[in-house]
């Protein structure tokens, strides 16, 4: 028997011994697993014991019988020798029981039970149990099994060793049978390989191919056997391949081919495709043979191209984000962003395109940036309404629109585009459901619509939407800052006005006082009496103006209190009764069930007085003043509405802003009025 045959027998014996070792390992593992299962069962029983103790303790604690709990736990610990320590602690930290045995233990378990009732902690139980007896019992049970398994395994191994030793004397014919089996296995492995396997001699003649070779190159086996390997190489590369094969035969090594260049194969129908090739030299008694493994890498190349394209896309988006963060006007940002889009590798774009934005009119696109477009487009497409031509269609629908040169939709575009044959993408810039603008990009002639390109352009549009929204937010913030500055100016002007009014008011009061004193000293009929009266009248008018200025300029806090609205109306009417009678004005009231409302009495009275005075001014020759009240609900808020309607002449038609009536609206919150506002259209 040959040395290789003996080696195979020895390997078989070692394999069988390994199986026996695995069997021994499984048996021992089962014993150990059973050991741990018994420990888990003991632990579970101890946990049940703790729950039983906890149940009894809970019942006693709920009745307040702490002595019973203490007695029970101490007796339980003394009766069970395996308990080394038991401790019961109340929630307030009081140690109710602390039993501790003086026995030593090499193995123990610690258990804890929180006794609760309705989410309230009653007692914290801790117990330590001795596991040494159980451990000793399990060891006594497991040890004989382990020893027996080891002895059985050793015995079987010895018997098998001597049996296999005798089998080494089999006839040499067995060696031929083994070689035939090995060849069949080689053939089987060759056929089951996922790559095309080609076995050639040193002259490049094909000797063996597998089924995958037939599928990959389109030839049947008989067409390839005996042919030159160059039959599977593209015609433009065959001469070079022959030279490389001759060089390889001089110094054969196991290595991949084409590390520094792309390799291609060619099918029976002439289709070329990229491949990876690995070469393995085989030295035999007949000479040098070469085993080639060929793999079609078309899908991998496509994946690499996709990764490269995605990298370029991500770089473009990063560049656009960087541009959007630069502190420059939005027009400059759009110009730079358009340049970045048109320079993205992998996109079949011409260096032509533009960006539209929606500005003042919500349904009109305005061109803000362009590059490479004909003059007719730059001047004729400055503004594009929604739904008009392809850009307007994309803006109205919110979807990407693609059109080829031959697309009939080009016929509907503006006339000045007729001399400019082109294909393009119209990509809407969206913020939610709102269209902010359009990216219009011209693509190369004959280009087909691509979902990958659309996804990239949508991502760019989304990034651009953030830039535009950020710009809008900056503009709004600037407007708010301007409004705040104006409000601060008006506030300062109000304070200045109040100070000036206060300064004027004091001397004006003195002038009025002295004028009235002087008027009383002038006899009736004297012409100076008329002059003093004019002074007094003008002083009173100026004082009224100052009061109005002070009222307008100061911030008056509300002084709310519970008030009877009907009583307040009567209090407001009382000073006007005499004048109403003199002007023959009839007052009609419809004020049933007016509630008690929390309001600022002075301000509400002022509103009522103004409305009454307005009504009287509008009816100098008499009339009817109707005061009514009603309840209403506006935007889920309750209001009490008090209407003042008169039959007076009213305001001239060109100056009117409403009907001849006055209304006071009192707001109520949850049935309880909290404030008010008023509106009057007749003054």
Query: Residue 339: pLDDT above 80?
Result: yes
Q: Considering only CA atoms, which of 673, 664, 639 is closest in space to residue 560?
A: 673
pLDDT value of residue 557: 64
Give the Cα separation of 518 and 534 in Å (integer): 12
Which one has a higher pLDDT value, 180 or 600? 600
Which distant-in-sequence residues (6+ apart) come within 8 Å of 450 by Cβ? none
Query: Residue 287: pLDDT above 90?
Result: no
Which one has a higher pLDDT value, 137 or 598? 598
Q: Which CATH number fits domain 194-296: 3.40.50.720, 3.30.450.20, 3.40.50.2020, 1.10.3720.10?
A: 3.30.450.20
Token couple for 621: 């020759």
468 and 365 Cβ atoms separated by less than 8 Å: no
Give the Cα separation of 47 and 40 in Å (integer): 10
Overall average pLDDT of the 447-469 stretch? 79
Which distant-in-sequence residues (6+ apart) come within 8 Å of 400 by Cβ? 394, 425, 426, 427, 428, 454, 457, 458
pLDDT value of residue 626: 93
Q: Decide yes or no: CATH 3.30.450.40 for domain 346-555.
A: yes
* Buried b or exposed e, range 324-355, using 16+ CB within 10 angstroms: beeeeebeebbbbbbebbbebebbebbebbbb
What confidence tier does 175 reach under pLDDT thresholds 50, 70, 90?
Answer: low
Neighbours of 511 (CB within 10 A): 16
In the chain, % of residues over pLDDT 90: 1
Q: Which CATH number does 560-680 carry? A: 3.30.565.10
* Buried b or exposed e, range 121-134, using 16+ CB within 10 angstroms: ebbbbebbbbbeeb
672 and 637 Cβ atoms separated by less than 8 Å: no
pLDDT value of residue 418: 44
For 298-315, what is each residue's pLDDT tens digit?
888 888 888 887 787 788
Which one has a higher pLDDT value, 353 or 449? 353
State the distance between the two ends of the chain, measured CA to CA, in whole angstroms: 130
Fold designation for 3-137: Beta-Lactamase (3.30.450)
Overall average pLDDT of the 217-229 stretch? 88
For 412-440, what is each residue's pLDDT tens digit?
444 444 455 667 788 888 888 888 888 88
Least confident of 59-68, 445-454, 573-582: 445-454
pLDDT value of residue 408: 56
Give the Å distances, CA to CA, from 451 to 90, 276, 341, 464, 516: 70, 29, 17, 20, 92
Neighbours of 665 (CB within 10 A): 15
Query: Where are the chain's structural domains?
Result: 3-137, 194-296, 346-555, 560-680
For 515-544, what is each residue's pLDDT tens digit?
888 888 888 877 777 788 878 877 777 777
Same fold, 194-296 and 346-555: yes
Query: Residue 258: pLDDT above 70?
Result: no
Average pLDDT, the chain: 77
For 544-564, what is each residue's pLDDT tens digit?
777 766 666 665 566 788 888
Overall average pLDDT of the 622-649 stretch? 86
pLDDT value of residue 624: 92
313 and 456 Cβ atoms separated by less than 8 Å: yes
Q: Compute the radius of gyration of the chain from its Cα atoms.
A: 52
103 and 128 Cβ atoms separated by less than 8 Å: no
DSSP string, 629-651: EEEEEETTEEEEEEEEEE-S--S
pLDDT value of residue 657: 46
Which one has a higher pLDDT value, 175 or 153? 153
pLDDT value of residue 668: 47
């Amino acid at each position: 028997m040959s040395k290789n045959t003996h080696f195979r027998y020895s390997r078989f014996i070692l394999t069988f011994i390994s199986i026996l070792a695995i069997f021994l390992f499984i048996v021992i593992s089962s014993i150990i697993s059973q050991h741990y299962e018994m420990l888990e069962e003991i632990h579970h029983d101890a946990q049940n014991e703790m729950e039983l103790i906890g149940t009894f303790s809970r019942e006693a604690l709920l009745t307040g019988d702490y002595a019973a709990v203490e007695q029970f736990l101490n007796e339980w610990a003394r009766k069970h020798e395996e308990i080394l320590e038991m401790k019961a602690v109340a929630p307030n930290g009081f140690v109710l029981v602390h039993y501790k045995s003086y026995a030593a233990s090499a193995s123990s378990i610690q258990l804890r039970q929180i006794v609760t009732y309705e989410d309230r902690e009653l007692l914290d139980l801790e117990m330590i149990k001795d596991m040494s007896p159980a451990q000793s019992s399990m060891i006594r049970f497991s040890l004989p099994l382990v020893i027996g398994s080891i002895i059985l395994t050793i015995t079987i191994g010895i018997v098998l060793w001597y049996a296999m030793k005798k089998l080494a004397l089999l006839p040499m014919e067995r060696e031929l049978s083994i070689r035939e089996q090995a060849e069949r296995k080689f053939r089987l492995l060759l056929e089951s390989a996922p790559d095309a396997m080609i076995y050639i001699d040193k002259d490049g003649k094909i000797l063996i191919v597998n089924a995958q070779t037939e599928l990959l190159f389109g030839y049947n086996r008989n067409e390839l056997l005996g042919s030159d390997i160059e039959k599977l190489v593209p015609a433009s590369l065959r001469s070079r391949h022959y030279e490389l094969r001759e060089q390889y035969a001089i110094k054969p090594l196991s290595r991949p081919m084409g590390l520094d260049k792309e390799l291609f194969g060619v099918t029976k129908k002439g289709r070329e495709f990229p491949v990876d090739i690995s070469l393995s030299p085989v030295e035999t008694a007949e000479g040098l043979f070469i085993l080639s493994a060929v793999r079609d890498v078309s899908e991998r190349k496509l994946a690499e191209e996709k990764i490269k394209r995605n990298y370029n896309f991500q770089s473009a988006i990063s560049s656009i984000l960087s541009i959007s963060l630069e502190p420059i006007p939005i027009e400059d940002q759009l110009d730079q962003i358009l340049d970045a889009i048109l320079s993205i590798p992998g996109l079949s774009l011409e260096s032509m395109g533009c960006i539209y934005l929606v500005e003042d009119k919500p349904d009109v696109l305005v061109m803000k940036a362009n590059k490479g477009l004909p003059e007719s487009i730059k001047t004729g497409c400055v503004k594009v309404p929604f739904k008009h031509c392809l850009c307007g269609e994309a803006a109205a629908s919110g979807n990407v629109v693609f059109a080829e040169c031959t697309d009939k939709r080009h016929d509907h575009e503006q006339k000045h585009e007729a001399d400019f044959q082109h294909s393009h993408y119209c990509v809407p810039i969206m913020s939610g459901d709102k269209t902010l603008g359009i990216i219009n990009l011209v693509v190369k002639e004959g280009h087909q619509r691509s979902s990958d390109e659309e996804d990239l352009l949508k991502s760019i549009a989304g990034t651009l939407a953030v830039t535009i929204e950020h710009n809008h937010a900056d503009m709004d913030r600037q407007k708010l800052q301007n409004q705040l500055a104006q409000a601060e100016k008006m506030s300062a002007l109000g304070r200045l006005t109040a100070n000036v009014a206060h300064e004027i008011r004091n001397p004006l009061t003195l002038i009025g006082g002295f004028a009235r004193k002087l008027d009383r000293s002038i006899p009736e009929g004297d012409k100076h009496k008329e002059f003093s009266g004019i002074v007094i009248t003008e002083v009173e008018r100026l004082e009224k103006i100052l009061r109005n200025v002070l009222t307008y300029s100061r911030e008056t806090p509300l002084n709310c209190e519970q008030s009877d609205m009907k009583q307040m109306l009567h209090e407001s009417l009382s000073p006007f009764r005499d004048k109403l009678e003199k002007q023959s004005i009839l007052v009609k009231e419809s004020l049933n069930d007016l509630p008690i409302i929390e309001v600022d009495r002075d301000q509400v009275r002022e509103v009522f007085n103004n409305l009454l005075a307005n009504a009287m001014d509008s009816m100098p020759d008499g009339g009817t003043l109707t005061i009514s009240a009603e309840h209403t609900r506006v935007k889920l808020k309750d209001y009490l509405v008090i209407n003042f309607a008169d039959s007076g002449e009213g305001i001239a038609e060109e100056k009117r802003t409403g009907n001849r009536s006055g209304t006071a609206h009192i707001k109520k919150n949850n049935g309880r009025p909290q404030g008010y506002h008023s509106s009057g259209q007749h003054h």
